[in-house]
Amino acid sequence: MSFNNPSPEQIRDLLQQIKSIAVVGLSAKENRPSFKVAKAMQSFGYRIIPVRPAITEVLGEKAYADLYVIADKIDLVDVFRAPEQVEPIVDACIALKIPCIWLQEGVINEAAARRASDAGITVIMDRCIYRDYMQLMR
């Protein structure tokens, strides 16, 4: 059985409900897609929580080494990592009861997506959150 993303209407509803986005793999380099997407989402009013070891701050927000050390509520985890690095992120989302995980365009791991979905997490895979926001919310 192959993975299916939520409908555009369900994605729109999700984007209207969430407030905080933990961005795993957020680069401090302004030319990187993760930075551009996170900056845009921040400009739309979402709180961005950077998750990347070895940096201390991005976009004016404190950065964290991993999801486990974030004390604040996370509504959605946006993943900018290689597909083979998704499993431990899904493990963290399940353990922390994070309601939604978004695997950015090109980040495809069907087994991890199914496991997260089976744990009750809403999963969007191989889509760009910025593009969906621009198409569905404008």
- Residue 4 maps to a domain: no
- Residue 97 maps to a domain: yes
Residue ranges making up the domain that contains 63: 14-136
Q: Are 79 and 127 in contact (CB under 8 A)?
A: no
- Residue 18 maps to a domain: yes
Q: What is the pLDDT of residue 47?
A: 98
Q: What is the pLDDT of residue 113?
A: 97
- Residue 41 maps to a domain: yes
| Number of other residues whose CB lies within 10 A of the CB of residue 4 | 10
Cα 123 to Cα 33: distance, rounded to the nearest angstrom: 20
Q: What is the pLDDT of residue 138?
A: 81
| Number of other residues whose CB lies within 10 A of the CB of residue 32 | 14
- Residue 2 maps to a domain: no
- The pLDDT profile of the chain, 138 residues, written as one tens digit per residue, is 678 999 999 999 999 999 999 999 999 999 999 999 999 999 999 999 999 998 999 999 999 999 999 999 999 999 999 999 999 999 999 999 999 999 999 999 999 999 999 999 999 999 999 999 999 998
Q: What is the pLDDT of residue 2?
A: 79
Cα 87 to Cα 80: distance, rounded to the nearest angstrom: 13
Q: Which of these, 90, 78, 87, lies nearest to 35 by C-alpha position?
A: 78
Instruction: List, in sequence order, the alpha helices (H) in the chain.
Output: 8-17, 33-43, 86-96, 110-118, 129-136
Q: Please tell me the total count of domains within the chain.
A: 1
Q: Kindly report the backbone phi and psi dihedral angles of residue 62, in degrees, each rounded to the nearest multiple of 5, phi listed first.
A: -60, 135
Q: What is the CATH number of the domain that holds 65?
A: 3.40.50.720
- Residue 6 maps to a domain: no
Q: What is the pLDDT of residue 16?
A: 97
For 65, the enclosing helix (H) or strand (E) is none
Q: What is the pLDDT of residue 84?
A: 97
- Residue 7 maps to a domain: no
